[in-house]
Amino acid sequence: MHDPHEIAAYARFKEIWAVLDIARFTPAPPAAEAMVLAMRTFAARYHQRLLALNPGVDVSGFFHIRIDPEVDSGARVLEGEPISFAAFLGRRYDIAGDRVLTAREANADADSDHDGLARALLSPPYGLKNDKARWGKFGSAQYLERECAWQREILRDFLREVLAIEDPRETEHLQIHRWPTDWSNYFDAGNEWWGTHAWSIADSRAGWLTVVCASASD
């Protein structure tokens, strides 16, 4: 099935266990409309995966992503909160210093539902896949330094390759909103403990709008 809203560059991040769901719309629709369109896209992708993983099986009784009927019909219009790029990235990334902070440095697990992209991308429930043995003794200062350096590389690659953001200090062309996460069962898993996230990033230079959502559990 052709997915016109898929961003091919994100595939390599999924391969290392990133749990974000992403959809891009060109030209950019109104942000509230894009959120609903994105969730419909995520639902269609999930359904296709179910079919692929269960050939010949009736999957009607399986979990499917649903949208609150009032939101899906337009009776309730989602309201997003405008946020800065720094708030979008969250406490795990220091823009001025261009470095990823440890969770302890950033106190990033406190109020995780409202932390940013850096945590959502870099700290999925089972961690990102990597050969951690080469970082040295677990928990040592050397280990933490090398882990954060690798995570910085992953985050900067994601910003550049997926969101077309070359320099995190130059984002005046972006309009970012944080959205509620009470309008789809997509967010149920994240409500258990890991957190839920929903953002829209409108890029006036590129003329597109990208939706980034996340909800995961173990």
Per the domain annotation, does 167 fall within a domain?
A: yes
Domain of residue 166 covers: 8-215
Per the domain annotation, does 1 fall within a domain?
A: no
Residue 104 is predicted with a pLDDT of 79
Cis peptide before 27 (omega within 30 of 0): yes
- Which among 14, 13, 15, 36 has a CA at the least distance from the CA of 23? 36
Per the domain annotation, does 112 fall within a domain?
A: yes
Residue 113 is predicted with a pLDDT of 46
Do the Cβ atoms of 213 and 117 come closer than 8 Å? Answer: no
Do the Cβ atoms of 208 and 25 come closer than 8 Å? Answer: yes
Residue 3 is predicted with a pLDDT of 86
Per the domain annotation, does 3 fall within a domain?
A: no
Q: What is the pTM of this model?
A: 0.93
Per the domain annotation, does 163 fall within a domain?
A: yes
Per the domain annotation, does 88 fall within a domain?
A: yes
Mean pLDDT in consecutive groups of 10 residues from the start of the chain, 218 residues: 88 97 98 98 97 96 98 98 98 96 72 77 93 73 88 98 98 98 97 95 98 93
Q: How far apart are CA 86 and CA 37, in angstroms?
A: 26
Give how many domains the chain has, as a whole number. Answer: 1
Token reading at 193 = 């403990």
Per the domain annotation, does 150 fall within a domain?
A: yes
Q: Name the strand (E) or helix (H) holding 46.
A: helix 31-53
- Which among 71, 28, 75 has a CA at the least distance from the CA of 177? 28
Per the domain annotation, does 204 fall within a domain?
A: yes
